[in-house]
Amino acid sequence: MIFGITSFVLIVGLSLRLTFGRYLSRLPEENRKFTVKNFKDYIKWVAGWKFSFLKLERWDRCLDYLIAWGRKNYQGWTVWVFYPLALCYVYLALSGMFFAWFVKRGLYGFPLLLHVAAGALFAISLTIVLFIKARVYLPEKLGPRAAAQENQQKGGFWCPLLKKSIARIYLEALAFWVFVVAGFLLALSTLGSMLPYFNYPAQIFFFHVHRWSALASVLAAILALDSIIVEVQAASAGERAEKPSR
């Protein structure tokens, strides 16, 4: 019960915070603050979406963009590491959270078997991605890339507390490393619960580590989608809109 409520609140809260930050970034800099007026305008902005996200063509475009993004950022054979990683993670996250929220018994039966199988492929893919992409998000690489993004006026995450925009690369790095650490904790806690070397209290401990690591990975995935994919897509759309029509 505690995990279900906490995970739901955090996931919804982060999603709202990211969309509110995206809304603030559309405003003049002097108006980028948390006010009642801005919040009401944000609610109207979100309401303007209506149920467009339920339309099949919207999901088709998202899938096409995700495939194109994978091909662009994972060259050659490495794209076939990214696709299984993404596919397995979607099932792992949906099945895990659905059973945690709506099924009192928890994950069981065939969905559990498929969850374990997808988890094994996810762990292998994540290890390969770590070797491929870790150097991109090393601390010494972030400063120059952040400066380049600021010079190119690429959108970042507007933080009302700091009253400035945080470069997108920092959010990417945070999402990447949290996702990686949480992913390996998920794999290790699964192995620990399957091995016959630990007593019942240890099994319960592994169960809780698995659950909270899963929540951390979902939050990191949401941040990654917003900062890496949605932000780039929005920037591309803005560039196309600024081009004069012939």
Write out the chain's pLDDT in tens, 246 residues: 788 889 999 998 988 888 887 777 777 767 777 788 888 888 887 777 656 666 677 777 778 888 888 888 888 899 999 999 999 999 999 999 999 888 888 888 999 999 999 999 999 999 999 999 888 888 887 777 777 666 655 556 666 666 666 777 888 888 999 999 999 999 999 998 888 888 888 999 999 999 999 999 999 999 888 877 665 555 554 444 444 444
What's the pLDDT at 129? Answer: 93
What's the pLDDT at 155? Answer: 55
Query: Is residue 222 within 8 Å of 11, Cβ to Cβ?
Result: yes
What's the pLDDT at 244? Answer: 46
* C-alpha to C-alpha distance for 55 and 102, rounded to whole angstroms: 25
pTM higher than the cut 0.85: no
How many folded domains does the chain comprise?
A: 1
What's the pLDDT at 41? Answer: 84
- Which residues, 6 or more positions from 101, have their beta carbon under 8 angstroms from its beta carbon? 4, 7, 8
* C-alpha to C-alpha distance for 201 and 183, rounded to whole angstroms: 22
Residue type, 185: L
What's the pLDDT at 205? Answer: 93
Question: What is the torsion angle, in degrees rounded to the nearest 10, for the CA atoms of residue 19, residue 23, residue 26 and residue 29?
Answer: -110
Residue 44: which domain range? 2-242
What's the pLDDT at 45? Answer: 79
Q: Which two tokens stand for residue 35?
A: 């006010």
